[in-house]
Amino acid sequence: MSAQKVAYLGPEASFTHLASKALFQDELLVPIRTIPECIEAVANGKVDVAVVPLENALEGTVPLTIDYLFHEVDVSVIAEIQAPIEQHLMVHPNNHKKWEEITSIYSHPHALAQCHKYLYYRFGKVPLEQSTSTAAAAKFVSENEKACIAAIGNSSAAIEYGLTIVEHNIHDFHFNHTRFFVLSRSNHCIQKPGHIGQVKTTVMITLPKDDRSGALHQVLSVFAWRQLNLSKIESRPLKTGLGQYFFVMDVLEDEQMPMMIGAMEELKALGCEVKSLGSYNTYETEKKIASD
């Protein structure tokens, strides 16, 4: 069988690349510049699969990913990858000796936010610049050795782009992990040995338009009386006006199970709109994932 094309938020050595490599050892990995372009690539059939960051333990949801999946495309989640995240400050080797004089710091907004306290106390006056990924920041710093600037990213990015790490582990809290979604046009979830926990289903629910009181309570009851365990609930703006939201819920059950089928029917009977992203297994980059 020919290798699958797997798009990921690049360039090489982004955290998303490291997560993709853990699950897709034998496939063709294709770096793409931004999260929407990754999602479009899989939706349009340019690639078979796309890997994008979804949620970080310190900073929460990556809004671009969840909003794009709700508003713009119909694709399924076929796996989740969880990875530990260690952020380091790195500079061009030519600037190694004067690294404390850096004039700006580049990284992905989620990475900058994960290091907020460090940056505030250590470099409070130094401007922070946003990049499309941590690896894009490292690449930029490597290409601009004349400027005394730094990037925040992982140690693979430092090696890939020939940078020197000047401060290790600058993220503010020790337990720093990120969830990545593996997206596909088909809804056949990846079944490789080594997954952890229970199967999960992600649904996006819009409440009935009549704005009745207790609507969210009704939605939660649909899951509660069936003993369907939720591992996440979050509201995101519908982008139609202030106070209008959709709800993202992760349910620890397969959507094919009778209780889940019943729950989805009851939600629709209540007047909710339901968009399911499908059921999927969770893999960890630290744990061995068999190549098939």
Which positions ≥6 away from 156 have C-beta within 8 Å? 13, 17, 18
Pick from 286, 291, 280, 279: which is nearest to 192 by CA?
A: 291
Of 110 and 139, CB closest to ligand PRE: 110
From candidates 135, 189, 248, 289, binder to ligand PRE by CB under 6 A: 135
Residue indicated by tokens 């495309």 = 73
Amino acid identity of 132? T
Shortest spacing between CB 171 and ligand PRE, in angstroms: 9
Q: Which stretch binds ligand PRE (CB under 6 A): 89-97, 107-115, 161-169, 280-288?
A: 107-115
Count of residues touching ligand PRE (by CB under 6 A): 15
Which lies closer to ligand PRE via its Cβ, residue 159 or residue 261? Answer: 159
Name the token pair of 103: 């004039």
Asked if 16 is part of the footprint of ligand PRE (rule: CB under 6 A), the reply reads yes
Provide CB contacts within 8 A for 121, sequence distance 6+.
none
Site membership for ligand PRE, residue 119 (CB under 6 A):
no
Residue 243 Cβ vs ligand PRE, minimum distance, rounded to whole Å: 27
Contact flag: residue 134 with ligand PRE (CB under 6 A): yes
Figure out which of the listed residues 108, 139, 195, 200 binds ligand PRE, where binding follows CB under 6 A: 108
- Considering the complex, state which of residue 15 and residue 223 has its C-beta at the smaller distance from ligand PRE: 15
Q: Which of 53, 76, 115, 139 binds ligand PRE (CB under 6 A)?
A: 53
Report how far apart, in Å, the C-alpha atoms of 240 and of each of 61, 243, 244 are.
20, 9, 7
State the nearest-atom distance from the C-beta of 16 to ligand PRE, in Å.
4
Does 15 help bind ligand PRE (rule: CB under 6 A)? Answer: yes
Nearest approach, Cβ of residue 40 and ligand PRE (Å): 17
Tokens of 67: 């909003």
Cα-Cα-Cα-Cα dihedral sign, residues 180, 68, 66, 264: negative
Go through 73-106 and write b for each residue having 16 or more CB atoms within 10 A of its CB, e for each that does not. Answer: eebbbbbbbbbebebbbbbbeebeeebeebeebb
Binding residues vs ligand PRE (CB under 6 A): 9, 14-16, 53, 56, 62, 85, 108, 110-111, 133-135, 178
